[in-house]
């Protein structure tokens, strides 16, 4: 297993467990055992699930999308908002009937939600049919957990969050087609006052740059055309590493990997967005001309209570500095509406910022109280209804702005990574992360195509110039 050797803590033992599990499953085999993995939450979770799938394949499982008849079912959960959690309680509960039908089924729950003690306790107490519960920093130990379960241990609950070494070399299964995720760092140290992530993911830890570029090369060799570099705050990449590196330098290193591919990254925290990074973006031709830069609120008072450590003015300075270097750059952002005691004026400032910047798209959320975060203890005089009204106003403002941004693209030439084909049209994203469709055939899927934008509606419509 040389190409997937586990090095560092727990690795050698994991390859032994993989072998043991494979032997047990092989011995039982009436047919190939099936595993169904359901993922909630952000790209970090999707990436973790890809590692889980890689491990499952190594153990001899075949992946399936349906829990019906599966031998191993896993839910990789998210805790960022209440809604994300509610879905998990219901969906895990629905697995009880599968377990009754097939007692040998192993049911597992992992990810950010179970990393909170109260949730793990609820699973242990009220979901007796869940066999394995494991947290965000022990994902790579799945073979051991499955082995222990198969060897007769009734229940396994492993929630260690010790911020130890990153488990390198864990196999991963890319189910994203020609889009590949590469985590560059784990955890978060920012403690924005509303956010659960630092509590459930632990401290910030960066992967060394060689591990990152090696993953990039592996994905490119599989035919991947778009690399998404992942981290909760990619701009603080490199802290604590012995090599002389930061995110701006990492981008240059990934850009230097040979091949025709596009580089994207998520997420940038404005507080750490440097001119050096913008210079790197400008110089690196494989990096998309798009920046996802969540500002959360346009009000300095709210930003301060959110512990975001920047102001609306400093945010706008970054936007200008980026536009100076890359005039055609587009921006997207995350916004929270209805943070505790957000006043009408605070909210107006958010709308103003949305109008000033002109985002191509926004991810908008109504504030969700997360137990254990500082914001959960803040008084909140804003009613649910007021929050709903503001949310709708924000959406309407953004709709207008998006129309302008997309309208401004008409007549321009863009380079589209073709993702889907349907009824004579090819759909994909351009270098500005804008959705584009044009008349073409299925053979274009997975290729780049040069397209002239002819019109703009909800998405851009164009004509292909050349492949």
Rounded-to-10 torsion of CA 116, 120, 121, 124:
180
Instruction: With H, G, I as helix, E, B as strand and everything else as coil, classify residue 376.
Output: helix
Q: Does 303 bind ligand F3S (CB under 6 A)?
A: no
Identify what 235 binds: ligand F3S, ligand SAH, ligand SF4, none; CB under 5 to 8 Å per kind: none
Question: Should residue 205 be labelled a site residue for ligand SAH when binding is judged by CB under 6 A?
Answer: no
Distance of closest approach, residue 278 Cβ to ligand SAH, in angstroms: 17
> Any contact of residue 188 with ligand SF4 (CB under 6 A)?
yes
- Shortest CB 59 distance to ligand SF4, Å: 32
E strand map for 40-191: 62-63, 72-77, 106-111, 132-134, 156-158, 179-183, 185-186
Spell out the residues 6+ positions from residue 332 whose beta carbon is closer than 8 angstroms to its own: 290, 291, 292, 293, 359, 360, 361, 362, 363, 433
Give the integer Cα–Cα distance in Å for 357 and 287. Answer: 21
8 A C-beta contact, residue 249 and residue 280? yes
Q: Which stretch binds ligand F3S (CB under 6 A): 42-50, 98-106, 391-399, 433-441?
A: 42-50
Phi, psi of 413 (to 5 degrees): -95, 130
363 lines the binding site for ligand SF4 (CB under 6 A): no
Q: Enumerate residues 210-269 that contact ligand SF4 by CB under 6 A.
A: 232-233, 269
- The whole-angstrom separation of Cα 240 and Cα 237 is 9
SS3 464: strand
* Per CB under 6 A, 53 contacts ligand F3S: no
User: What is the SS3 assignment for 320?
Assistant: helix
With CB atoms as reference, the residue minimizing the distance to ligand F3S is: 41
Contact flag: residue 50 with ligand SF4 (CB under 6 A): no
**269 lies in the site for ligand SAH, by CB under 6 A:** yes
- Sign of torsion over alpha carbons 191, 46, 91, 160: negative
Answer yes or no whether residue 59 interacts with ligand F3S by CB under 6 A.
Answer: no
Least spacing, CB of residue 144 vs ligand SAH, in Å? 30
With CB under 6 A as the contact rule, which of the stretches 39-47, 91-99, 244-252, 343-351 interacts with ligand F3S? 39-47
Tell me which H or E stretch contains 39.
strand 34-39
Whichever of 300 and 334 has its CB closer to ligand SAH, that residue is 334
Distance CA 264, CA 286 (A): 9
The reply to whether 41 sits near ligand SAH by the rule CB under 6 A is no
Site membership for ligand SF4, residue 191 (CB under 6 A): yes
Candidates 56-64, 144-152, 161-169, 361-369; binding stretch for ligand SAH (CB under 6 A): 361-369
Closest among 188, 230, 36, 196 to 115, alpha carbons compared? 196
What mask of x and - would describe binding to ligand F3S in positions 99 to 138, judged by CB under 6 A?
Answer: -------------x--------------------------
Number of residues that bind ligand F3S (CB under 6 A): 12
Residues that bind ligand SF4 in the complex, under the rule CB under 6 A: 188, 190-192, 195, 197-198, 232-233, 269
Kindly list the residues in this chain that would bind ligand SAH in the complex (CB under 6 A): 80-81, 194-195, 197, 232-233, 267, 269, 294, 296, 334, 336, 365, 367-368, 370
């Amino acid at each position: 297993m040389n190409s997937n050797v586990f090095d560092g803590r727990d690795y050698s033992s994991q390859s032994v467990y993989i072998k043991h599990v494979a032997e047990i499953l092989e011995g039982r085999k009436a047919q190939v055992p099936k595993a169904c993995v359901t993922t909630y939450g952000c790209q970090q979770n999707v990436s973790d699930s890809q590692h889980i799938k890689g491990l499952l394949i190594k153990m001899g499982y075949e992946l399936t999308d349906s829990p019906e008849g599966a031998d191993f079912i896993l839910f990789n959960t998210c805790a960022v908002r209440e809604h994300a959690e509610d879905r998990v309680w219901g969906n895990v509960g629905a697995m009880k009937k599968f377990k009754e039908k097939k007692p040998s089924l192993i049911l597992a729950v992992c990810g950010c939600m179970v990393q909170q003690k109260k949730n793990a306790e609820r699973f242990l107490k009220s979901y007796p049919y869940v066999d394995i519960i494991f947290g965000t920093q022990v994902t790579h130990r799945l073979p051991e957990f499955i082995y222990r379960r198969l060897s007769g241990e009734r229940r396994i609950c492993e929630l260690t969050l010790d911020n130890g070494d990153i488990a390198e070399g864990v196999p991963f299964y890319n189910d994203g087609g020609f889009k590949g995720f590469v985590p560059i760092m784990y955890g978060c140290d920012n403690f924005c006052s509303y956010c659960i992530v630092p509590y459930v993911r632990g401290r910030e830890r960066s992967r060394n740059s060689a591990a990152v570029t090696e993953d990039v090369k592996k994905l490119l060799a599989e035919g991947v055309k778009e690399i998404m570099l992942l981290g909760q705050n990619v701009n603080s990449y490199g802290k604590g590493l012995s090599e002389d590196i930061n995110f701006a330098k990492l981008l240059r290193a990934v850009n230097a990997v040979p091949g025709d591919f596009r580089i994207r990254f998520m997420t940038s925290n404005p507080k750490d967005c440097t001119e050096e990074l913008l210079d790197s973006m400008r110089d690196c031709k494989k990096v998309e001309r798009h920046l996802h830069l969540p500002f959360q609120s346009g009000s300095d008072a709210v930003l301060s209570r959110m512990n975001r450590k920047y102001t609306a003015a400093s945010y706008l300075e970054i936007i200008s500095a980026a536009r100076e270097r890359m005039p055609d750059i587009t921006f997207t952002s995350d916004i929270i509406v209805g943070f505790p005691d957000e006043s009408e004026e605070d909210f107006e400032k958010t709308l103003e910022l949305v109008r000033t910047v002109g985002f191509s798209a926004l991810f908008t959320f109504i504030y969700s109280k997360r137990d254990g975060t500082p914001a959960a203890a803040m008084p909140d005089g804003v009613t649910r209804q007021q929050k709903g009204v503001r949310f709708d106003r924000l959406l309407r403002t953004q709709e207008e702005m998006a129309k302008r941004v997309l309208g401004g693209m008409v007549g321009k030439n863009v380079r589209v990574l073709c993702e889907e084909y349907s009824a004579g049209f090819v759909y994909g994203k351009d270098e500005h992360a804008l959705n584009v469709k044009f008349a073409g055939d299925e053979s274009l899927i997975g290729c780049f195509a040069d397209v002239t934008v002819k019109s703009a509606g909800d998405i851009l419509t164009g004509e292909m110039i050349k492949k």
